[in-house]
Amino acid sequence: MRRGLLRKPLFVVGVLLTVGFSLAPFLWFVSSAFKTQTQITAIPPQWWPTFSMEFFRSAIEHYGILHYLINSVIVAGSTTLVTIFLATLAGYALARLPRRWAQFILMGILACAMFPQIAIVGPIWRFLQMAGWLNTYQGLVLPYVALTLPLAIWILTLFFQQMPEELEAAALVDGCTRLKALVRVILPLSAPGLFTASILCFIYAWNEFFLALLIMTDPLRQTMPVGIALFQGEHIVPWGEIAAASFITTAPLVVMVLLFQRRIVTGLSAGAVKG
């Protein structure tokens, strides 16, 4: 009993320290985004901002982050739509295969996803150069789809395996084709899995830096991570503008994950009990 009482405060303290350590960088750049230039260079540091919009205006007017934001929305949105469409068809097909064959194929798909980016970036860049797709949206969406598809297929396959086949049998008896049964019966019941896969694909495409840096060398086509990295000037580092742009980039994702965290957890835990 005493050991349990001692462990509980230690556990709470450990959780608080871990959360504080993880949130400290995030809270610091949020605070820096709302400071003035005088505050951000003050010694000793000023922890509490005056909630000035100086750096946000500078990031928009002088560094043009709005076109970076539009590029990121186009690339991440297109990647998510294409990936979920392909993963839905592949996941449904794998879910209706015998379990042994489905697991074998899924392991092969995940093995393909294990290659580090540095090992495949050369062939990807060469292929895009030959196709004339460098500095194009499709040139960035294509490798993003290839990299996000394995995880999306894995999530949706596990989710579709939980759907009773009797529902499809009833739909087929009523005159539906396999595709209609998938669209009208299975997909509405698989909303948590679809949403989870969509969020993960969108976050990856939104935050990815390495491929975007190599493929999108035209400033008019660069995404937010690359645009923010190139804020740095020859003689100064605009920390305030970087913090403001980072806040604009991160805030929507944080809000989206907090609002839909239950659906995300439900989708990620698919298949945890069965199979």
DSSP string spanning 63-89? S-HHHHHHHHHHHHHHHHHHHHHHHHH
Residue at 80 is within a domain: yes
Given this model, what pLDDT does residue 1 score? 46
Give the residue with greater pLDDT, 53 vs 11. 53
Residues in the chain: 275
Give the residue with greater pLDDT, 172 vs 3. 172
Residue at 273 is within a domain: no
Read off the pLDDT band of 273 (50, 70, 90). very low
20-24, 113-117, 213-217 — which one is most confidently predicted on average?
213-217
Residue at 37 is within a domain: no
Given this model, what pLDDT does residue 4 score? 53
Residue at 240 is within a domain: yes
- Structural domain range at position 79: 54-268
- CA separation, residue 251 to residues 46, 85, 201, 244, 254 (Å): 23, 27, 17, 10, 5
CB 171 within 8 A of CB 114: no
Q: What is the mean pLDDT of residues 62-90?
A: 94
Residue at 234 is within a domain: yes
24-33, 127-136, 192-201, 251-260 — which one is most confidently predicted on average?
127-136
User: What distance in Å separates the CA atoms of residue 163 and residue 154, rounded to the nearest whole number?
Assistant: 15
State the CATH number of the domain containing residue 237. Answer: 1.10.3720.10
Domain count, the chain: 1
Residue at 168 is within a domain: yes
For the record, the structure tokens of 189 come out as 């019941």
Given this model, what pLDDT does residue 56 score? 92
Least confident of 5-14, 42-51, 99-108, 238-247: 5-14
Residue at 35 is within a domain: no
pLDDT by residue (tens digit) across 25-40?
A: 888 888 888 998 888 8
Residue at 19 is within a domain: no
